[in-house]
Amino acid sequence: MPEIQEIFDRVKDFKNKQKLIREAYKSELAHHSEYHEIKEDLEKVKIQKKEIETAIKTAMIKDFEKLEDLKLDIEADNEMISDLAFNKLIKGEKVEIQDEFGNKYDPVIIVKFQKAK
């Protein structure tokens, strides 16, 4: 079985190769005149779209405030679910969640690494 460091080094190598391919792609796009024309047209349409969205949001300001409150409530409840499930798992208890259709959900624990400070 490979060591963690070997796999980490391999992932870094793959990411470097991806970066080189992306840079070559961007370079090719930079030299394509029709691409730039279409990109400018797209920007104009995006501005028009944003103006329409802003006008509708302004008309529906109360609903959007409620939407933001709901978003915060969902984030808080999801964090609470995660904390409760983790504590149960640490204690060796079974964690089971089920939706209204009878679908069961299993907890997933993710370990990530970040650069040491």
Residue 13: the pLDDT is 97
Task: Give tens-digit pLDDT for 64-110.
Answer: 999 999 999 999 999 999 999 999 999 999 999 999 999 999 998 88
Among 12, 42, 59, the domain boundary falls at 59
Which residue carries 């190769």 as its tokens? 17
Alpha-carbon Rg for the chain, nearest whole angstrom, is 24
Q: 3-7, 15-19, 42-46, 57-61: which has the minimum mean pLDDT? A: 3-7
Among 19, 39, 59, the domain boundary falls at 59
Kindly tell me if the per-residue pLDDT of 36 is higher than 80: yes
Looking at the fold, whether 54 and 20 belong to one and the same domain comes out as yes
Among 12, 33, 59, the domain boundary falls at 59
Distances (CA, A) of 79 to 38, 43, 89, 92: 43, 38, 15, 20
- The boundaries of the domain holding residue 77 are 65-117
Distances (CA, A) of 81 to 33, 70, 75, 89, 96: 52, 16, 10, 12, 11
Residue 67: the pLDDT is 95
DSSP class of 102: S
Looking at the fold, whether 3 and 45 belong to one and the same domain comes out as yes
pTM of the model: 0.55
Number of domain units in the chain: 2
Question: Which amino acid is present at 21?
Answer: I
